[in-house]
Amino acid sequence: MKTKSILLAGLASLAALVAPASHAAMLDFEGPGVCAGSADATGNGALAACFDYAFISQSYGDVAGMMDVQYSAPRLTDTSMRWWGGSYNNLYGVAWADSSDGNSKARIDLKPLNGQGVMLTHFDLGSYPGGTRGTTLTISDLSGNVLMTNHYNVGEAGNVATAFNGIWIGYNGIRIEWEDSAYNVGIDNITYEMATAVPEPETYAMLAAGLSLLALRARRRKA
């Protein structure tokens, strides 16, 4: 009975690792609740209808008890990202950082509040006012571990934004950063799912012990 309990405990923990996501979302920067107007650069002001140069609200994308989404332009003091309607290739409603092409950086943190991780699967980067523009993109977890970094020329033939698809998992959250340019390179359609946390080493040890004991019992029965 002890052997079975050890095995079942390990299998239960392993199953939790691959359980379906409990929450999936896309931040498309459209509709109500996206902008905080232009009076408060932090993005903590009252919600307002979006217009070009409006600040992204720090509450946009938040899910109570589950997800805190934070927007910033790290080279500026206490400043959220801004909103723009069109002309970032074929995107409508994008987030970008103020300043200039040669001195701009944007940051979006997806910070889980419920002990789960975050799995980023898609986002689009568009170039203003169309065409192609360069940017350096970095995806990391919130501990600073870099999951991907590279310089990209954003904007495809036919004035189409560049789509980024993949699986980037941060068990304490995900950070998306792009810079030089984050002024004329904007982001849209950020798609993510919640991911269950990695089991502790003790869980793997328990699973291995259970499997070993079952194998030993099976050999003894054959003998």
d(CA 132, CA 134): 7
Confidence at residue 23, expressed as pLDDT on a 0 to 100 scale: 81
Q: pLDDT tens digits, residue range 117-163?
A: 999 999 999 999 999 999 999 999 999 999 999 999 999 999 999 99
d(CA 129, CA 160): 12
Q: Which residue has the higher pLDDT, 34 or 203?
A: 34
Instruction: For the chain, give the mean pLDDT.
Output: 86
Confidence at residue 221, expressed as pLDDT on a 0 to 100 scale: 52
d(CA 223, CA 212): 17
CA geometry: angle at 21 spanning 192 and 175, to 5°? 30
The pTM score is: 0.81
- 179: pLDDT strictly greater than 70: yes
- 2: pLDDT strictly greater than 90: no
- Rounded to an integer, the average pLDDT of 181-189 is 98
- Rounded to an integer, the average pLDDT of 3-12 is 40
Confidence at residue 39, expressed as pLDDT on a 0 to 100 scale: 77
- Rounded to an integer, the average pLDDT of 53-69 is 96
Model confidence at 4, pLDDT cuts 50, 70, 90, reads very low
Q: Which residue has the higher pLDDT, 137 or 223?
A: 137
Confidence at residue 215, expressed as pLDDT on a 0 to 100 scale: 53
Q: Which of 106, 83, 88 is nearest to 156 (CA)?
A: 88
**Other residues' Cβ atoms within 10 Å of the Cβ of residue 164:** 21
Confidence at residue 18, expressed as pLDDT on a 0 to 100 scale: 40
Q: Which amino acid is at 43?
A: G
Q: pLDDT tens digits, residue range 70-116?
A: 999 999 999 999 999 999 999 999 999 999 999 999 999 999 999 99
- 31: pLDDT strictly greater than 80: yes
3 state SS of 136: strand
